[in-house]
Structure 1
Amino acid sequence: MTVTPAYRPAPVPRPAADEHHGGPRRLVGPLAALDGRLAGPHDLLLMQCPSSLRPLGGGGLPDWARRVLRAHPWVTVGRAPAVAGGPADTPHPVRCTRDVSAAPETWLPVIVRGPERGQHLDALAPRAAVARTLRPEQLAGREALLPPGRVAAVPALAALSEAGRLVTEHRLAWGPIGAVGYELGTGVPVTGPLSPLRLVLRAPQPVSRRDALMLRRALSRLPVPVQAELETRYGAVLLAEYAAGTVLLTLLTPEGPREVRDPWFPRGR
Structure 2
Amino acid sequence: MRNSTEELHDGPRRRVGALAALDGRLPGTHDLLLMQCPGSLRPLAGGELPEWARPVLRAHPWVTVGRAHPVVGTPLDLPRPQRCTRDPEAAPEHWIPVTVRGPRPGQRLDALAPWAAVARTLRPERLPGLRERLAPGRLTGIPALAVLPEVGRLVADHRLVWGPIGAVGYELGTGVPVTGPLSPLRLVLRAPQPISRRDALQLRRALSKLPVPVQAELETRYGAVQLAEYAAGAGVRGLTLLTPDGPREVHDPWFPRGPSV
Structures share fold, TM-score greater than 0.5:
yes
State the TM-score, normalized to the length of structure 2.
0.91
Quote how far apart the aligned CAs of 1:25 are.
2.1
1:116 aligns with 2:112: no
Within-5 A mapping of 1:126-141: 126-141=114-129
**CA distance in structure 2 between the partners assigned to 1:249 and 1:259 by the alignment:** 5
The CA RMSD measured in Å over matched residues stands at 2.2
Mapped contact 1:141–1:161 kept (Cα < 8 A): no
Deviations 1:195-227 (A, max 9, x none): 100000000000100000000000000000000
Structure 1's unaligned 5+ residue stretches are: 1-13
Query: Who is 1:24 aligned against?
Result: 11
1:257 aligns with 2:247: yes
Which structure: larger Rg?
1
Mapped contact 2:13–2:119 kept (Cα < 8 A): no
Mapped contact 1:34–1:132 kept (Cα < 8 A): no
Deviations 1:1-48 (A, max 9, x none): xxxxxxxxxxxxx869x9443452254327769951110000000000
Query: Who is 1:221 aligned against?
Result: 209
Quote how far apart the aligned CAs of 1:73 are.
0.3
Q: Percent identity?
A: 74
- When the two structures are aligned, how many residues end up with a matched partner? 255
Local SS of the residue matching 1:241: helix
Structure 2's unaligned 5+ residue stretches are: none
Deviates more, 1:78-87 or 1:117-126: 78-87
Local SS of the residue matching 1:86: coil
Amino acid at match of 2:253: P
- Large movers: runs of 4+ above 4 Å: 30-35
1:97 aligns with 2:95: no
Mapped contact 2:29–2:66 kept (Cα < 8 A): yes
State the TM-score, normalized to the length of structure 1.
0.89
Query: Who is 1:154 aligned against?
Result: 142
Within-5 A mapping of 1:1-269: 19-25=6-12, 27-29=14-16, 36-86=24-74, 89=76, 91-92=78-79, 93-103=81-91, 105-247=93-235, 248-268=238-258
Local SS of the residue matching 1:25: coil
Mapped contact 1:33–1:133 kept (Cα < 8 A): no
Deviations 1:223-262 (A, max 9, x none): 0000000000000000000000123000001111111110
Amino acid at match of 2:73: G
Amino acid at match of 2:118: V
